[in-house]
């Protein structure tokens, strides 16, 4: 499994880096680097529940959007290299704290570690669901490797236009890969399963509304619903926070109430029932936890 880090093609970048000796496009080598493992209350209600989601934040990212909310760790700041045994212990500790699930955030470039680490944690008593929390920029073949590891896919669907993906994420092929990856996620978890209002298996697709991108976001929502109907949940998010000044000036503000209401109304018009919406003041940095090695 770990030979996948040699001439790495785990993600659509296919950078072919030998991550045992250097780093890939993700900025990471072959050591598992984690920045935080702690309870988190700010996921969708069926993920956070009452006690919180057991989030494990990995350093590095294969997408590196210019507006990333976790900009520091996506650009390889901080973190700590840990062993698979330490990762398994962190998962078990989160379960002991009452976490409803283990939520693996930005996990794509560590798939081999994740598969082995979850297997070890389960052999030692991990029973709660495992959530794969991703940007959506995945290869279907890599997602397929997770069929016995992941219970819930919590994936973004960021763009429906190649030019937007290129402009903000340097990933002109994002749309085709995101579509194929989502198809594989739904194949693995074809319908949502709940127990006491908590998701135990299924797919949630997050759609982050960017300022000045209402039309494209509506196109994404339309594609998702027409393709998957009620087999997935769609999470409509207005929490975009400009954490630094962008050269792309249309990203230097939060989303307006009008933009977000228009998106919600459009989803209702399509007939979407399996959806999450955000209420109150969500565009603020309190949604971004400190990456201070808590739980590591």
Residue 129 φ/ψ, nearest 5 degrees: -65, 155
pLDDT-derived band at 244, boundaries 50, 70, 90: confident
271 inside domain: yes
The count of domains in the chain is 1
CA distance 144 to 98: 29
10 inside domain: no
26 inside domain: no
Contact (CB, 8 A) for 9 and 16: yes
Q: What is the pTM of this model?
A: 0.96
117 inside domain: yes
Lowest mean pLDDT among 147-161, 243-257, 280-294: 280-294
Give the pLDDT score at 17: 98
Domain with residue 212: its CATH number is: 3.20.20.70
pLDDT tens digits along 113-152: 999 999 999 999 999 999 999 999 999 999 999 999 999 9
170 inside domain: yes
4 inside domain: no
11 inside domain: no
Contact (CB, 8 A) for 64 and 106: no
List the domain range (segments joined by +) for residue 235.
34-287
210 inside domain: yes
Please provide the DSSP assignment of 239-265 as one string: -----S--SSGGGSSPPPHHHHHHHHH
Please calculate the CA angle 55-61-62 and round it to the nearest 5 degrees. Answer: 135
């Amino acid at each position: 499994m770990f030979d996948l880090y040699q001439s790495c093609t785990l993600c659509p970048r296919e950078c072919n880096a030998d991550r045992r000796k250097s780093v890939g496009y993700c900025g990471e080598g072959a050591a598992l680097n984690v920045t935080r493992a702690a309870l988190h209350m700010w996921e969708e209600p069926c993920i956070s529940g009452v006690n919180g989601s057991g989030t494990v934040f990995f350093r590095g990212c294969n997408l590196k959007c210019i507006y990333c909310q976790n900009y520091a760790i996506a650009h390889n700041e901080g973190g700590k290299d840990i062993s698979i045994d330490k990762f398994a212990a962190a998962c078990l500790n989160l379960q002991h704290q009452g976490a409803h699930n283990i939520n693996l955030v930005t996990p794509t470039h560590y798939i081999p570690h994740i598969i082995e680490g979850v297997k070890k944690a389960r052999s030692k008593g991990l029973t709660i669901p495992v959530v794969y929390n991703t940007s959506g920029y995945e290869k279907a073949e890599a997602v397929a490797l997770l069929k016995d590891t992941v219970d819930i896919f919590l994936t973004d669907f960021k763009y429906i236009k190649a030019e937007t993906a290129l402009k903000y994420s340097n990933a002109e092929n994002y749309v085709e890969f995101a579509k194929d990856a989502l198809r594989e996620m739904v194949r693995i978890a074809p319908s949502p399963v709940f127990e006491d209002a908590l998701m135990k298996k299924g797919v949630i697709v997050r759609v982050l509304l960017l300022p000045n991108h209402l039309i494209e976001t509506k196109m994404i929502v339309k594609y998702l619903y027409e393709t998957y109907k009620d087999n997935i949940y769609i999470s409509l998010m207005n929490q975009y926070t400009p954490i630094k000044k962008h050269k792309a000036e249309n990203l230097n503000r939060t989303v307006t109430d009008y933009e977000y209401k228009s998106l919600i109304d459009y989803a209702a018009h399509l007939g979407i029932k399996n959806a999450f919406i955000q209420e109150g003041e969500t565009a603020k940095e309190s949604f971004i936890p400190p990456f201070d090695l808590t739980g590591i």
